[in-house]
């Protein structure tokens, strides 16, 4: 929130300063000064996203706010230019008009609302406000109010890969491998090391040994907590790995089994119980 506020505030101050300097000390009229000031401000902001990419939405909102502010300044300056006398002075009481004022107010509201939306999406609700808005049970658990940009890995959302996915599913069904998976403990807890086990057999029940089994546990609400893993064979067709999932609730499992040129994929979900050692979002 601080970085977003600083870059937006500093950019708007720079824009207005450039506009005043250009409009006063150069032969450019009001519209031209506003346009040049807006472009210079956008150019000055460019190194920040290039050095540390904050996301396309954040960059877009910066450019949009800078250019909208320049547009508003251009409207005000243009109105003043039309009223300006030959000697450069303005008629008393004539510089203000409700039309430009309404446009300015409209854009100020739009900028303020957009800034709030982007700030909440990037940084979440401030802790003090969060406790007032959220139910008591969620506030105590420190629910995550940020939007991490999670996109679910569903094949039907990837048009170019959909046919390959259907072919893969058909091939897996014909092959007939069976994959049984689960935790060694009856109730796995968040924040604790738990052993996850996978047993792979063919259609006749013979174990599939020597395979490379890997995958990841996906946190649907926050991709920053995703856990990748590679499993170790402990017996013929039996693979295990120790995993610590930091958050309670539902996790998505994406599993990949490779043996030579053969691959077998599957997805599932698992429920992790809360414990005293939970690391909150």
Question: Which of 270, 262, 212, 221 has its CA nearest to residue 241?
Answer: 212
What CATH number has the domain bearing residue 193?
Answer: 2.60.40.1930
Verify that 109 and 170 share a domain, yes or no. no
Verify that 176 and 119 share a domain, yes or no. no
Per the structure, the complete domain to which residue 260 belongs is given by 155-272
Backbone angles phi, psi at 18, to 5 degrees: -60, -40
Q: How far is CA 255 from CA 16, 141, 215, in A?
A: 55, 30, 4
Total domain count for the chain? 2
Verify that 116 and 160 share a domain, yes or no. no
- 131 falls within a domain: no
Are 258 and 212 contacting, i.e. CB atoms less than 8 angstroms apart? yes
**How confident is the prediction along the chain (281 residues), in pLDDT tens digits per residue?**
446 677 888 888 999 899 989 988 988 888 888 899 999 999 999 998 888 877 777 788 888 888 888 888 887 777 666 655 555 555 555 555 566 667 767 777 877 777 777 666 666 666 666 566 655 544 444 445 555 555 545 544 555 566 777 788 888 888 899 999 999 988 899 999 999 999 999 999 999 999 999 999 998 777 788 999 999 999 999 999 999 999 888 899 999 999 988 999 999 999 998 864 444 44
Chain-centroid distance, C-alpha 172 = 34
- 140 falls within a domain: no
- 60 falls within a domain: yes
- Provide the CB-side half-sphere exposure for 204 (13 A, CA): 1
Looking at residue 277, what is its pLDDT?
47
Verify that 49 and 111 share a domain, yes or no. yes
Are 190 and 272 contacting, i.e. CB atoms less than 8 angstroms apart? yes
| Residue whose tokens read 């174990």 | 207
Extract long-range pairs of 99-102: CB within 8 Å, 24+ residues apart.
100/75, 100/76
- 166 falls within a domain: yes
Nearest-angstrom CA–CA distance, 62 and 42? 8
Residue 149 backbone zone (phi > 0: left; psi -120 to 50: alpha; other: beta): left
Looking at residue 189, what is its pLDDT?
92
Question: Which of 35, 121, 27, 107 has its CA nearest to residue 74?
Answer: 35
Domain end point (choices 123, 142, 163)? 123
Looking at residue 21, what is its pLDDT?
92
Verify that 8 and 118 share a domain, yes or no. yes
- 216 falls within a domain: yes
Verify that 90 and 159 share a domain, yes or no. no
Looking at residue 278, what is its pLDDT?
43
Verify that 166 and 231 share a domain, yes or no. yes
Are 259 and 208 contacting, i.e. CB atoms less than 8 angstroms apart? yes
- 128 falls within a domain: no
Verify that 117 and 7 share a domain, yes or no. yes
- 278 falls within a domain: no
Verify that 181 and 115 share a domain, yes or no. no
- 150 falls within a domain: no
- What predicted TM-score, i.e. pTM, was given to this entire model? 0.47
């Amino acid at each position: 929130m601080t970085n977003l506020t600083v870059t937006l505030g500093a950019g708007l101050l720079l824009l207005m300063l450039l506009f005043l300097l250009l409009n006063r000390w150069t032969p450019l009229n009001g519209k031209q000064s506003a346009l040049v000031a807006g472009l210079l401000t956008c150019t000055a902001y460019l190194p920040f996203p290039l050095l540390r990419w904050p996301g396309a939405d954040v960059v877009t909102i910066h450019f949009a706010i800078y250019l909208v502010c320049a547009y508003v300044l251009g409207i005000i300056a243009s109105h003043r230019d039309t009223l300006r006398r030959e000697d450069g002075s303005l008629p008393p009481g004539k510089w203000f008009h409700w039309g430009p004022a309404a446009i300015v107010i409209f854009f100020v509201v739009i900028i303020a609302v957009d800034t709030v939306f982007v700030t909440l999406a990037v940084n979440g609700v401030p802790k003090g406000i969060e406790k007032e808005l959220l139910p008591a049970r969620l506030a105590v658990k420190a629910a995550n109010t940020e939007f991490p940009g999670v996109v679910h890995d569903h094949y039907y959302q990837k048009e170019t890969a959909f046919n390959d996915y259907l072919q893969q599913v058909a091939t897996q069904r014909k092959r007939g491998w069976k994959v049984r998976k689960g935790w060694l403990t009856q109730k796995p807890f968040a924040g604790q090391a738990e052993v996850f086990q996978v047993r792979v057999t063919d259609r006749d029940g013979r174990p599939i040994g020597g395979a490379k089994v890997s995958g990841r546990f996906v946190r649907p609400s926050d991709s920053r907590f995703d856990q990748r893993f590679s499993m170790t064979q402990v017996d013929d067709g039996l693979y295990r790995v120790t995993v610590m999932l930091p958050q309670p609730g539902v996790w998505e499992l994406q599993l990949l089994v490779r043996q030579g040129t053969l691959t077998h994929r599957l997805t599932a979900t698992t429920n992790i119980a809360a414990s005293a050692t939970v690391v909150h979002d």
